[in-house]
Chain A
Amino acid sequence: MKVETPFNAEVIRKDFPILNRKVNGKPLIYLDNAATSQTPQKVIDAIVDYYSNYNANIHRGVHALSQEATDAYEQARIKIQKHFNAAKAYEIIFTSGTTHGINLVANGFSSLLKKGDEIIVSALEHHSNIVPWQMLCEKTGAALKVIPMDTNGELVLSEFNKLLNQNTKLVFVNHISNALGTINPIEPIIEKAHNVGAAVLIDGAQSCPHIKPDVQALDADFYVCSAHKICGPTGIGMLYGKEEWLKKLPPYQGGGEMIAEVTFEKTTYADLPHKFEAGTPNVCGGIAFGAAIDYMNAIGFDAIAQYENELLVYATQKLQKIEGLTIYGTATHKTSVISFNVGNIHPYDIGTILDKMGIAVRTGHHCAQPIMDFYKIPGTIRASFMFYNTKEEIDIFIASLKKAIMMLS
């Protein structure tokens, strides 16, 4: 008989050395997980092991180290493929992160779009998901359309339906909003976009720490994410693209690795995935990304989602009891992110005082100024929880917040 191990955050916390440190003399309470997640010992070990034992350039070497490093890097690609349920390992392109993945696709589409074509983005986007499309539109003469949001922070799908037409070539939506935590209904968005023949890119930066996406079931054409949001290192991420799309897009950068044959007259490009991986890749990062995926799967995404939702509900109820506190983003489906303000107190002031008490939150516009403009606020305080956070930490956060409000009122 299989016995389910109960989810125990206290045990899990021991995997994260950084959670033992103090900040300003107080135990660190890290609630800035939507910006970057912390790194478990297993991932740190993978990084140390790589540099201690088999650091080498990959894919070309005939020697043992190069072969070992190549194997480990390609194994990581397969781990990522399986995790996202991509049909082929070569549909996984290693990138430096979500922004790189988005730019790679945007750049690729610059040769496929023409004047009169249309690109649709959502009002819930991060700057990195707006600027590349504006640049693409300037370059190609295509027009940028925006799916509006309502006051709960949910996309208005009826408006999306009206924006779609035969000229729509691309739709870009984040799976989960970084500023508000809204889980967007990407399934109907993808289906409707496909009905008019448009491709869909999903920004999974915020979803990958909480959800295990199945890119084939979603039928996403492209899906991007960053390793550092899911307990991996910074500087590495992945772009999933359907084979047919990746073949259509031209290479992004020229260099070593991405070529098949070079003469001064003509270069033929390498096959997927190397066509998009010019130069020496972040080998260690890729391997550590794979280790992070293993770590998260060993805990289990269902258990993670259930526990994080408990944290979300617990913190939301406690925050709602604070007088003058407004929560932004109250979507029915949201992840463990709470964006809020207290009266007229500037988010920066609250963030500064919380930091003095060892609590890390994010303050500001969260690189999503259009959302702040929508609510007519300069920014918010954002607390975001991960499976290694605890209700005790939330209690301390709430008590510290009350103290900050008292000092600032």
Chain B
Amino acid sequence: MTIEEIQNEIIDEFSMFEDWEERYQYMIDLGKTLPLIQEQFKTDDHIIKGCQSKVWVHAEMNDDKVEFTADSDAIITKGIIAILIRAFSNQHPKDIIEANTDFIDKIGLKEHLSPTRANGLVSMIKQLKMYAIAYQTQLN
């Protein structure tokens, strides 16, 4: 599936939730169930510092596709990361670079991507794109 197709799938899923509680409960459950990153990568080299919650990101390229793993010490942040990873992981670097993140707005989580929000998510998306740019350079 393309990034856009996955994003549309996520939008469809979220459209079934009736209120914020269901949305957040879903994200919390996502955050709880997913092991997102191997412990060996939870080091300072992989950390993206938000003011309050920590985010770790690791990237690898296999068969010209970038695979991301990530984690956070806050569970709601982790839930959102799970959604982002689902959209961007296992994709060609060029597609990651060009992808937009409007779907976050459409699923009612826009507030988490405000640059002033102290959760490190904006920096995380930047970091995902930086990895993609780096791998794209290798391919060229």
Contact = CB atoms under 8 A, between A and B. Distances in A.
Contact of A364 (B20, B24, B51): B51
Interface stretch (A32-40, A113-121, A250-258, A345-353): A345-353
B76 A352 contact: yes
B59 interface: no
Contacts of A346: 53, 73-75
Interface in B17-39: 20-21, 24-25, 28
Interface in A310-357: 345-349, 352-353, 356
B24 A356 contact: yes
B101 interface: no
A202 to B, nearest CB: 28
A24 B20 CA distance: 10
Contacts of B28: 349, 407-408
B25 A349 contact: no
A379 interface: yes
B75 A408 contact: yes
A349 B28 CA distance: 9
Contacts of A364: 51-52, 118
Contact of A353 (B24, B54, B77): B24
Contacts of B25: 407
A356 B20 contact: yes
A363 interface: yes
Interface string A376-406: 0011000000000000000000000000000
Contacts of A408: 28, 75
Contact of A349 (B21, B54, B74, B118): B74
Interface residues of B, number: 16
Interface string A358-380: 00000111000000000000110
B119 interface: yes
Given A364-B51, A364-B52, A364-B118, A348 B74 contact: yes
Interface string B71-85: 001111100000000
Nearest to B23: A356
Nearest to A378: B73
A379 B73 CA distance: 12
Interface in B55-88: 73-77
A379 B51 CA distance: 11
A376 to B, nearest CB: 14
A343 B106 CA distance: 33
Contacts of B53: 346, 348
A347 B75 CA distance: 10
Residue of A24, A364, A365 with most chain B CB atoms under a 10 A cut-off: A364
A97 B42 CA distance: 39
Contacts of A347: 52
Nearest to A351: B52
A345 B73 CA distance: 9
Contact of B52 (A345, A353, A379): A379
Nearest to B117: A352
Given A364-B52, A364-B118, A379-B52, A348 B77 contact: yes
Contact of A348 (B20, B24, B119): B119
A363 B74 CA distance: 12
Contacts of A378: 52, 54, 73
Contacts of B54: 378
Contacts of B118: 348, 364
A352 B24 CA distance: 10
Interface in B84-139: 118-119
Contacts of A345: 75
Residue of A363, A379, A408 with most chain B CB atoms under a 10 A cut-off: A408
Contacts of B76: 348-349, 352-353
A352 to B, nearest CB: 5
Residue of A346, A348, A407 with most chain B CB atoms under a 10 A cut-off: A348
A335 B21 CA distance: 34
A129 to B, nearest CB: 19
Contacts of B51: 364
A2 to B, nearest CB: 50
A364 B74 CA distance: 12
The 10 A-B pairs with the shortest beta carbon distances in the complex, nearest first, are: A346-B74, A348-B74, A348-B52, A364-B52, A348-B53, A349-B76, A356-B20, A349-B74, A349-B75, A352-B76
Given A349-B28, A379-B52, A407-B25, 17 more contacts: A345-B75, A346-B73, A346-B75, A348-B52, A348-B74, A348-B76, A348-B119, A349-B74, A349-B75, A349-B76, A356-B20, A356-B24, A365-B52, A407-B21, A407-B28, A408-B28, A408-B75
Interface of B: 20-21, 24-25, 28, 51-54, 73-77, 118-119
Interface of A: 24, 345-349, 352-353, 356, 363-365, 378-379, 407-408
8 contacts: A345-B75, A346-B53, A348-B119, A349-B77, A356-B20, A356-B24, A363-B52, A407-B24
